[in-house]
A and B are shown apart, each in its own frame.
Chain A
Amino acid sequence: NAGVMQNPRHLVRRRGQEARLRCSPMKGHSHVYWYRQLPEEGLKFMVYLQKENIIDESGMPKERFSAEFPKEGPSILRIQQVVRGDSAAYFCASSPEGFGEQFFGPGTRLTVL
């Protein structure tokens, strides 16, 4: 059973461009979480999704950030008009149910020039 997959692993964008981060949860997992980790800091919760639904987006910035988890395909975290402060590692996690152990992917490291 493959683990949580994230791509790309590294992403470089210029200010003002869009960044799309993908997360494929483990097989059989219908719950997906996104976290952001700034350099030398802990992880910050961003959003929790189930298939086609956003359950908790209390950690998402109000502007430029959006997330989806469609019926088919990976979950997508989208950042529009990126700024230098968006440079961070973005981690996705999945779980088979809405509580308990979360399985994390290797992360996408976004660099905004």
Chain B
Amino acid sequence: DAKTTQPNSMESNEEEPVHLPCNHSTISGTDYIHWYRQLPSQGPEYVIHGLTSNVNNRMASLAIAEDRKSSTLILHRATLRDAAVYYCIQNRDDKIIFGKGTRLHILP
């Protein structure tokens, strides 16, 4: 079973920042936090991952709490193309266990 907890859905206005929360209270020292997203009728797409420090890439930023029991995916300026289901995953090996994710709606 998935070890993370995410809100079922969120809404955001276009061109505004979006903060997607994730709780992973059972995380251990060797578990990474991965984020994937799935656009409608497509396969999942890697977004970002991290272990302890905050991470930035061209798609998003990942803010990890100091105790690592939660994290936040930040989309700095949401567009309509960011409407998708976002999955937060806690794992330490090759297997990705997907939860139900957060369905992000972007309002024009």
Contact = CB atoms under 8 A, between A and B. Distances in A.
Interface residues of A, number: 26
Given A101-B49, A104-B43, A42 B94 contact: no
B98 A42 contact: yes
Contacts, number: 53
Interface string A41-77: 1111100100000011010000000000000000000
Interface residues of B, number: 19
A72 to B, nearest CB: 23
Interface string B53-75: 00000000000000000000000
A13 B21 CA distance: 41
Contacts of A58: 95
Interface of A: 4, 31, 33, 35, 41-45, 48, 55-56, 58, 91, 93, 95, 98-107
Given A43-B44, A99-B94, A102-B96, 6 more contacts: A35-B98, A42-B99, A43-B96, A45-B96, A101-B46, A103-B46
